[in-house]
Amino acid sequence: MNANTNSKFDLKVFSKTVGWSYRESLPDNLNPQLSAGIPIQFMKRYGIVPICNQNDEFIVAAISKPKQLDALDVLADYYELPIEIVIMPNDLVADLIQQLAENRRASSQKLLQDSLENESIHQVLDQIQDVLITDSDHPFIIRFTNSMLAEAIESGASDIHLEPDRTGMRIRFRIDGMMQDRANASSHTSELIASRIKVMAKMDVSNRIHPQDGSLTITVGKSPRDLRISSVPTPFGERVVIRILGRAEQHTDLLKLGMSDEMVEKIDTILSQNEGFLLVAGPTGSGKTTTLYAALHRIDCNTRNTMTIEDPVEYHVPGVSHVEVGQNRNISFGDGLRSILRQDPDIIMVGEIRDGDTAGTALRAALTGHMILSTIHTHDPAGAVIRLLDLGVDAALIAETLTAVIDQRLIRLLCPHCKQLIDDQNHYSPAGCIHCDHTGYKGRRALFRFIGIDQSLRSAIRNRDHDKIEQLVTCHCDEQLKKHANLLIEKGLTSLSESQRILQG
Ligand SMILES: [Zn+2]
């Protein structure tokens, strides 16, 4: 017994302790399972390690800093048992904690594997509620985050939204374009989950007041998937959105996306030309980029130098040079485009036309021996042309170079497992089952309309005649979407109500 320690340490202060002793060697009855719910950081900070449970009568804990009353109270409350204290030298306690940390790292690898296989986020969340967790590296938080990512990828989600509010955090997935509630976490847990995501994406965990971006790659099954993370502060905590980028093999065929043979032929003709400008229009999440990728797959990259400028690079197409621009890299689309024009490209895909600078540079490139493919955010095909004019690009330049506009929407397909026949004309309505998360729909198909820019449209553009542009484009293609949607209804692939939702939107 050490007299010095004894004199500093008044046992009567602790109501939750049952006695104490002093030892200078490692205990041989350490039970690593006992401390599984206690964060390593907590043990390090207070120099305390729960060692064993004595017949459910008391917990034996090693401690190097016997003045940590709060920590002893926390342990006693956590185990709902009094604590017997073993005072040990600093370095021995540190060794014990180190040993536990290594055990945990090994077992969290195992847990990671397990959670990627079959553990629903609800199961993990339920377990988290029972455990005292203060750090985002805790195996439960790691397990929860991994399960959430795996569940989202397996259900085909394009985004995960972590939305803090007054009471905690709502976790929603976007599947086939629609938001779906998945789980609710407590405020305390939600902060740790957000931190865990930020750690994985190499973002600044200590900074919770500025918006941040990050990225990471996760492997589920055999294929690696790229994730893009964005965090934004809100009064209730950080709102985190995880975008799950697509798998390259899903996006290689225009016909499989839903394009008709006739339209694919027109695209091929355009792509075979040496210069021009092909613009894909549609609202956010309508699959514009996917269409461009499928178009890139139709180009013979061995004979033509094909480059892309994207924010972010979503998939890698063999033979194509991808360049990433954006806030993270401090390069705009316009800057990126100017620099790759010096790399002697034949075909350039510009991820999106967002500003006048990019639009002007892209159109001038199209005029000087380059085939340019790009997307623009609009709600109707005439809007794409008008948007270019509104961005301040010279009308004559647009009229001269714009080759065609593809306008597209994504329509949800009925779940083949549960769709219900409602009449004798092969019309089905959605029902809902486990295969479709009870939504009645599974997967989407693109609806396209194609607007070739002809002489009359060119002159309307040159004259900046919005009404005429509207009239010509509408007359060119208004029926195309409807016809295409009706075809899918007749085949029993989608429902009347889904078609109405898309056509009105
Ligand atoms: Zn179903």
Indicate if 66 and 93 belong to the same structural domain: yes
Indicate if 202 and 307 belong to the same structural domain: no
Please report whether residue 129 resides in a domain: yes
Residue 387, both tokens: 């948007």
Give residue 412 CA to ligand 1 midpoint distance, Å: 12
Q: Is the peptide bond before 235 cis (omega within 30 degrees of 0)?
A: no
Please report whether residue 483 resides in a domain: no
Indicate if 264 and 372 belong to the same structural domain: yes
C-beta neighbour count of 154 within 10 angstroms: 12
Give the pLDDT mean for 117-136: 65
- 295-328 pLDDT, tens digit per residue, is 999 998 889 999 999 988 877 888 899 898 887 6
Place of tokens 């939305």: 163
Final residue belonging to a domain, choices 224, 244, 264: 244
What is the three-class DSSP state of 464?
coil
Indicate if 176 and 286 belong to the same structural domain: no
Please report whether residue 425 resides in a domain: no
Report yes or no: 396 and 462 within 8 Å, Cβ to Cβ.
yes
Indicate if 212 and 286 belong to the same structural domain: no
Instruction: Give residue 233's pLDDT.
Output: 92
Position with higher pLDDT, 9 vs 152: 152
Expressed in percent and rounded to 5, the helix, strand and coil fractions of the chain are 40, 25, 30
Give the pLDDT mean for 338-343: 91
How many separate domains does the chain show? 3
Give residue 423 CA to ligand 1 midpoint distance, Å: 19
Instruction: Give residue 10's pLDDT.
Output: 42
Give residue 415 CA to ligand 1 midpoint distance, Å: 4
The mean-pLDDT minimum among 37-46, 316-325, 344-353, 431-440 falls in: 37-46
What is the three-class DSSP state of 59?
strand
Indicate if 275 and 386 belong to the same structural domain: yes
Give residue 428 CA to ligand 1 midpoint distance, Å: 12
Please report whether residue 493 resides in a domain: no
Give residue 106 CA to ligand 1 midpoint distance, Å: 39
What CATH number corresponds to the domain at position 60?
3.30.300.160
Give residue 175 CA to ligand 1 midpoint distance, Å: 14
Return the amino acid letter for 14: F
Element (H, E) at 409: strand 402-414
The mean-pLDDT minimum among 194-198, 217-221, 317-321 falls in: 217-221
Q: How far is CA 249 from CA 153, 256, 290, in A?
A: 15, 12, 11
The mean-pLDDT minimum among 74-78, 369-373, 393-397 falls in: 74-78
Give the pLDDT mean for 473-495: 86
Instruction: Give residue 142's pLDDT.
Output: 83
Q: Residues near 503 by Cβ (< 8 Å), separated by ≥ 6?
A: 481, 482, 485
Instruction: Give residue 129's pLDDT.
Output: 60
pLDDT-based confidence at 480, cuts 50/70/90? confident
Give residue 420 CA to ligand 1 midpoint distance, Å: 10
- 261-306 pLDDT, tens digit per residue, is 999 999 999 999 999 999 999 988 888 988 999 999 999 888 999 9
Give the pLDDT mean for 176-182: 88
Cα 35 to Cα 100: distance, rounded to the nearest angstrom: 8
DSSP 396-455: HHHHHHEEEEEEEEEEEEEPTTT-EE-STTS-EE----GGGTTSSEEEEEEEEEEEE--H
Element (H, E) at 131: none
Instruction: Give residue 163's pLDDT.
Output: 94
Q: Is the pLDDT of residue 1 over 50?
A: no
Give residue 411 CA to ligand 1 midpoint distance, Å: 16
Instruction: Give residue 276's pLDDT.
Output: 95
Instruction: Give residue 138's pLDDT.
Output: 75
Final residue belonging to a domain, choices 244, 264, 288: 244
Mean pLDDT of the chain: 85
Return the amino acid letter for 227: L
Position with higher pLDDT, 38 vs 238: 238
Percentage of the chain lying above the pLDDT 90 cut: 41
Instruction: Give residue 130's pLDDT.
Output: 57
In 120-211, which ranges are E strands? 157-164, 168-175, 178-186
Cα 343 to Cα 305: distance, rounded to the nearest angstrom: 9
Percentage of the chain lying above the pLDDT 70 cut: 88
What is the 8-class DSSP label of residue 228? E
Strand partners, 227: 216, 244
Q: Is the pLDDT of residue 3 over 70?
A: no
Give the pLDDT mean for 447-462: 93
Residue 25, both tokens: 């060697």
Give residue 436 CA to ligand 1 midpoint distance, Å: 4
Give residue 380 CA to ligand 1 midpoint distance, Å: 31
Element (H, E) at 365: helix 356-367
What CATH number corresponds to the domain at position 216?
3.30.450.90
CA 384 to mean position of chain CA atoms: 28
Residue 154, both tokens: 């397996």
Indicate if 208 and 296 belong to the same structural domain: no
Give residue 481 CA to ligand 1 midpoint distance, Å: 26
Indicate if 138 and 237 belong to the same structural domain: yes
**Long-range Cβ contacts of 455-463 (<8 Å, 24+ apart):** 457/385, 458/399, 458/400, 459/399, 461/385, 461/389, 461/395, 461/398, 461/399, 461/402, 462/395, 462/396, 462/399, 463/395
Give residue 170 CA to ligand 1 midpoint distance, Å: 24
Please report whether residue 503 resides in a domain: no
Q: Is the pLDDT of residue 120 over 80?
A: no
Give residue 460 CA to ligand 1 midpoint distance, Å: 48
Give residue 228 CA to ligand 1 midpoint distance, Å: 29
Give residue 495 CA to ligand 1 midpoint distance, Å: 13
Please report whether residue 78 resides in a domain: yes
Report yes or no: 39 and 132 within 8 Å, Cβ to Cβ.
yes
Q: Is the pLDDT of residue 111 over 90?
A: no
In 78-221, which ranges are E strands? 83-87, 157-164, 168-175, 178-186, 212-220
Q: Is the pLDDT of residue 497 over 60?
A: yes
Instruction: Give residue 239's pLDDT.
Output: 95
Give residue 421 CA to ligand 1 midpoint distance, Å: 13
Give residue 417 CA to ligand 1 midpoint distance, Å: 5
Element (H, E) at 225: strand 223-234
pLDDT-based confidence at 388, cuts 50/70/90? very high
The mean-pLDDT minimum among 60-74, 400-414, 426-440, 449-463 falls in: 60-74
* pTM, rounded to two decimals: 0.69
Pairing of the two strands 402-414 and 276-282: parallel
Give residue 433 CA to ligand 1 midpoint distance, Å: 4
Pairing of the two strands 83-87 and 276-282: unpaired
Give the pLDDT mean for 241-253: 77
Please report whether residue 484 resides in a domain: no
Please report whether residue 83 resides in a domain: yes
What is the 8-class DSSP label of residue 331? B
DSSP 275-316: SEEEEEEESTTSSHHHHHHHHHTTS-TTTS-EEEEESS---P
Give residue 422 CA to ligand 1 midpoint distance, Å: 16
C-beta neighbour count of 5 within 10 angstroms: 12
Indicate if 234 and 144 belong to the same structural domain: yes
Instruction: Give residue 177's pLDDT.
Output: 86
Instruction: Give residue 33's pLDDT.
Output: 79
Give residue 441 CA to ligand 1 midpoint distance, Å: 6
Q: Which domain holds residue 156?
A: 118-244
Residue 437, both tokens: 């998360």
Give residue 208 CA to ligand 1 midpoint distance, Å: 40
Q: Under the phi-then-psi rule, with left for phi > 0, alpha for psi from -120 to 50, and beta for the rest, what region is 306?
A: beta
Give residue 289 CA to ligand 1 midpoint distance, Å: 28
Instruction: Give residue 116's pLDDT.
Output: 52
Find, among 294, 287, 264, 277, the residue nearest to 453 by Cα: 277
Give the pLDDT mean for 98-125: 65
Give residue 180 CA to ligand 1 midpoint distance, Å: 15
What CATH number corresponds to the domain at position 292?
3.40.50.300
Give the pLDDT mean for 189-206: 88
Indicate if 152 and 62 belong to the same structural domain: no
Give the pLDDT mean for 7-20: 56
What is the three-class DSSP state of 167?
coil
Give residue 276 CA to ligand 1 midpoint distance, Å: 44
Indicate if 185 and 274 belong to the same structural domain: no
Final residue belonging to a domain, choices 244, 272, 299: 244
C-beta neighbour count of 84 within 10 angstroms: 18
Indicate if 282 and 407 belong to the same structural domain: yes
Q: At what angle do helices 121-129 and 139-154 cross, to 10 degrees?
A: 160
